[in-house]
């Protein structure tokens, strides 16, 4: 009996599926926190999902990891991955997440966090195809 060696890139091709399951769960946690009245941790969790998504898109486009979410978003827009209106929307998500992460709690409200979570879910389902 001859055993075939597994493909070395197998897991690389599975990354979008695995990330989709993991970050779907993180977004569910964010939604639960929001429903329980914890808008700030919900926004931070959602921002984690956004940043990871931007990093994966950047890798797909062959872009270097530029570190900051804003820089990744700029590079993806410049590469043509999405248009200016989508870029602005992503910028607003990162702004909301940053406000929560840096203790600027008065800069966001529950409604904006709720919209952000829903928008990120749609972005990942449609544009990112995670």
Q: pLDDT digits over 70-106, tens only?
A: 999 999 999 999 999 999 999 999 999 999 999 999 9
Q: Looking at the domain assignment, is residue 11 inside a domain?
A: no
Q: Residue 3: exposed, middle, or buried by beta-carbon count in 10 A (0-12, 13-18, 19+)?
A: exposed
Instruction: Give residue 130's pLDDT band: very low, low, confident or very high (50, 70, 90).
Output: very low
Which residues are CB-neighbours of 87 under 8 A, at least 6 positions away? 73, 74, 76, 77
Q: What share of the chain is helix, strand, coil (3-state, %, to 5)?
A: 75, 0, 25
Which residues are CB-neighbours of 84 under 8 A, at least 6 positions away? 77
In tens, the pLDDT along 105-116 reads 999 999 999 999
Does position 7 have pLDDT exceeding 50, yes or no? yes
pTM, entire model? 0.77
Q: Looking at the domain assignment, is residue 3 inside a domain?
A: no
Q: Looking at the domain assignment, is residue 57 inside a domain?
A: yes
| Boundaries of domain holding 119 | 16-128
Q: How far apart are CA 128 and CA 77, in angstroms?
A: 14
| Contact of 19 with 52, CB cutoff 8 Å | yes
Query: How many distinct structural domains can be found in the chain?
Result: 1
Q: How far apart are CA 67 and CA 108, in angstroms?
A: 24
3-class state of residue 38 by DSSP: coil
Q: Looking at the domain assignment, is residue 4 inside a domain?
A: no
Q: Looking at the domain assignment, is residue 7 inside a domain?
A: no
Q: Looking at the domain assignment, is residue 67 inside a domain?
A: yes
Does position 10 have pLDDT exceeding 90, yes or no? no
Q: Looking at the domain assignment, is residue 8 inside a domain?
A: no
Which residues are CB-neighbours of 102 under 8 A, at least 6 positions away? none
Instruction: Give residue 6's pLDDT band: very low, low, confident or very high (50, 70, 90).
Output: low
Q: Looking at the domain assignment, is residue 2 inside a domain?
A: no
| Residue 108: CATH number of its domain | 1.20.120
């Amino acid at each position: 009996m001859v055993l075939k060696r597994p493909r070395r890139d197998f897991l690389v091709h599975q990354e979008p599926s695995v990330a989709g399951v993991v970050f779907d769960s993180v977004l569910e946690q964010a939604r639960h926190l929001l429903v329980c009245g914890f808008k700030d941790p919900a926004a931070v969790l959602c921002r984690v999902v956004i940043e990871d998504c931007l990093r994966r898109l950047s890798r797909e486009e062959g872009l270097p990891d530029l570190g900051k979410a804003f820089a990744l978003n700029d590079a993806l827009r410049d590469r043509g991955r999405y248009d200016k209106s989508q870029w602005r929307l992503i910028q607003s998500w990162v702004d909301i997440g940053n406000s929560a992460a840096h203790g600027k709690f008065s800069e966001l409200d529950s409604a904006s966090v709720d919209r952000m979570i829903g928008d990120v879910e749609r972005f990942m389902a449609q544009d990112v195809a995670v």
